[in-house]
Amino acid sequence: MTLEILTSDTLAPVRHGFFTRSGGASSGIFSGLNCGLGSSDQREVVTMNRKMVAKSMGTTAELMAGVHQIHSAKVQIATAENAAERPEADALVTRTKGVALSVLAADCAPILFADAQAGVIGAAHSGWKGAVGGVISQTVDAMVTLGATRSHIKACIGPCISQRSYEVGPEFFEQFRDEDPEFTRFFAQGTDHHFLFDLPGFCLHQLRETGLADAHWIGHCTYLDESRFYSYRRATHRKEADYGRLISAIIL
């Protein structure tokens, strides 16, 4: 089966990919490349999908590190010895060649990082909680401890929910406003006292606040493009029982 892999010139020449749902062995509401072991999809099928991803990244499933995502700012340092573990965290960093870093998302922002000169990479899962909580800055800090130079780190935000599709209530807006009044610029007025939140824009702001000079969003909305992406919010609006998870990965 042919997998569709989106890439960014920003991260070149480091091998990476934001995988769409195209290809894969899952069926039904998970149709395509569902890589979420936490979904109710058949585990053997998800495992098969993950093996296809690992192969396309030039490694094995055992060396494709991942985390049990909890919307935190926790970062895991991945090595060949611990790559098969799934600790509770939302980001990974490594300088070990052959170990792929992977994160899952289905509206949240997958972010891939690379300092090609230092040979240090990172991957983060950032929903709004992680973004406010500092997962982006913690990932960059962890890369620096492994030898990366802040000004040399480049980052790309993968497919995630866009502002036009991310309607939130007033209490959500107030939480951001109370955190920092400047954060209100990432909201547009919606309908019936609701707001539209710019998740990729907020993540870009956080990336630049860490000192990264080169960061961008790949520009694909998971909610709007059903043929290519899974979406938690779309599945919720349709009252579907579950949803697939998209995978993003990077490797030295």
- DSSP for 73-88, please give it: --EEE--TTTTT---B
- Domain total of the chain: 1
Look-up: residue for tokens 């962890």? 142
Contact 111, 130 (CB under 8 A): no
Residues 6+ apart with CB under 8 A from 130: 71, 72, 73, 90, 108, 124, 136
Here the tokens at position 240 are: 């579907």
- What is the average per-residue pLDDT within 132-155? 96
Three-class DSSP category at 217: strand
Q: What are phi and psi of 164, to 5 degrees?
A: -65, -20
Rounded Cα gap, residues 161 and 39, in angstroms: 20
Here the tokens at position 24 are: 């894969």
The reply to whether 127 falls in a domain is yes
**Per residue in 114-133, pLDDT tens?**
999 999 999 999 999 999 99
**Per residue in 147-172, pLDDT tens?**
999 999 999 999 999 999 999 999 99
Decide if pLDDT at 1 tops 80. Answer: no
The reply to whether 164 falls in a domain is no
User: pLDDT category, 213, cuts 50, 70, 90?
Assistant: confident
Contact 247, 39 (CB under 8 A): no
- What is the average per-residue pLDDT within 43-48? 97
Cα–Cα distance list, 230 to 47, 53, 122, 171, 238 (Å): 18, 16, 23, 27, 13
The reply to whether 172 falls in a domain is no
The reply to whether 212 falls in a domain is no
User: Which residue range(s) make up the domain with 240?
Assistant: 5-159+220-251
The reply to whether 197 falls in a domain is no
**Per residue in 73-109, pLDDT tens?**
999 999 999 999 999 999 999 999 999 999 999 999 9
Q: What percent of the chain has pLDDT over 70?
A: 100
